[in-house]
Amino acid sequence: MSDELNSKRPPVANKWQLERIVGELRDARRAWRSSTGRSQEPGGRELPSRAAIGLIVESLSGALFPMRLGPHDLRQESEDFYVGHTLDAALNNLLAQVRLELRHAARQRAGAPEAGQDIHERAQSIVRDFAEALPGLRRLLDSDVLAAYQGDPAARSVDEVLLCYPGILAVIHHRLAHHLYNAGLPLVARMISELAHSATGIDIHPGAHIGESFFIDHGTGVVIGETAIIGDRVRIYQAVTLGAKRFESDDSGQLLKGQLRHPIVENDVVIYAGATILGRITIGEGSTIGGNVWLTRSVPKGSNVTQASIQNQVGNVG
């Protein structure tokens, strides 16, 4: 009976009208490529893969913290072998993604010839420098983990912080992404940061410069913009925004890129939940910014800014 029913069913392609839909999707792709000047795309993969980047970051995290973020059955006597093997695979995979971004960037530059050997050598140099930086990144991340443990009375151990805290996950991604961003790989770097954003709700642009012993408590809704500069031993809470006050444009109305538009937060600053700090202003060393404060002006060293203090200043001006 089942064979008889199956024989009466239309082929899957006919059932879903796939031939027509595939054709329409092909037309849509052609129209998009034509409108964006990409009609001469190469036949193979043109851009880095988000899935590949995710696996690379997972491997790098395991290599940085093998007994915490590595495989569940890893033993200390095999630690160095695991780290070496994992790094070799991760760095080779990263090299392939770096080459893709560099080739794509070369094609986007008007009249730039595609120099395959030059791109390969540059990609190797970038990944080699990245590998050399990993021990320093591990030490920097150790300061972040310790800051989270010392800054949160609910934290019972540094292991709990490393394994459970979304702020630490976001900072691990950021430290890796920031190095690659500075190396001239904005797309790969942004992919890494957006993987953390998707997982934690913490949005740190890879261009943001962040000092040591950085702690994001709870974290959901935190936004840190591209040109933000954050000093050492800074602690911020959920829903904090370090953003731009305005976006400058040229005479044709196009937004200007690369402008210094985000805050500078000096050493030992605490910013409580929901605070919004906008523009290229400076929060002086050792200051405390209270919850839900809206701040668009610089404050000096040692300031204590609360909603009440801002309202009093506005009232006095009036």
User: Hey, where are the domains in the chain?
Assistant: 46-201, 221-318
Residue with tokens 């605070």, as numbered in its chain: 275
At 12 the pLDDT is: 58
Taken as a whole, the chain contains a residue count of 318
CATH number 3.40.10.10 given to 221-318: no
Residue 269 structure tokens: 């600053």
Give the C-alpha separation, 63 to 81, whole Å.
10
How crowded is residue 81: how many other Cβ atoms within 10 Å of its Cβ? 10
DSSP 229: E
Using an 8 Å Cβ cutoff, are 188 and 206 in contact?
A: no
pLDDT in tens, 35-85: 877 666 655 678 999 999 999 999 999 999 999 999 999 999 999 999 999
Give the C-alpha separation, 39 to 56, whole Å.
31
Using an 8 Å Cβ cutoff, are 269 and 287 in contact?
A: yes
Give the C-alpha separation, 100 to 16, whole Å.
35
Give the C-alpha separation, 143 to 37, whole Å.
46
Single-letter residue type at 172:
I
At 10 the pLDDT is: 56
> Measuring CA to CA, which residue among 63, 119, 131, 65 is closest to residue 92?
131
Spell out, as residue ranges, where the chain has pLDDT lower than 70: 1-14, 38-44, 110-115, 311-318
Single-letter residue type at 291:
G
At 246 the pLDDT is: 81
pLDDT in tens, 6-29: 555 655 556 889 999 999 999 999
The model's pTM: 0.87
Helix (H) or strand (E) holding 235: strand 235-236
46-201 and 221-318, same CATH topology:
no
At 317 the pLDDT is: 46
Any residues with CB less than 8 A from the CB of 47 and at least 6 apart, and which?
100, 101, 104, 187
Q: Are strands 264-265 and 282-283 parallel, antiparallel or unpaired?
A: parallel
Using an 8 Å Cβ cutoff, are 298 and 283 in contact?
A: yes
> For residue 235, what are the β-bridge partners?
215, 270
Residue with tokens 């991340």, as numbered in its chain: 141
Using an 8 Å Cβ cutoff, are 167 and 196 in contact?
A: no
At 45 the pLDDT is: 72
What CATH code would you report for 46-201? 1.10.3130.10
At 33 the pLDDT is: 84
Using an 8 Å Cβ cutoff, are 269 and 286 in contact?
A: yes
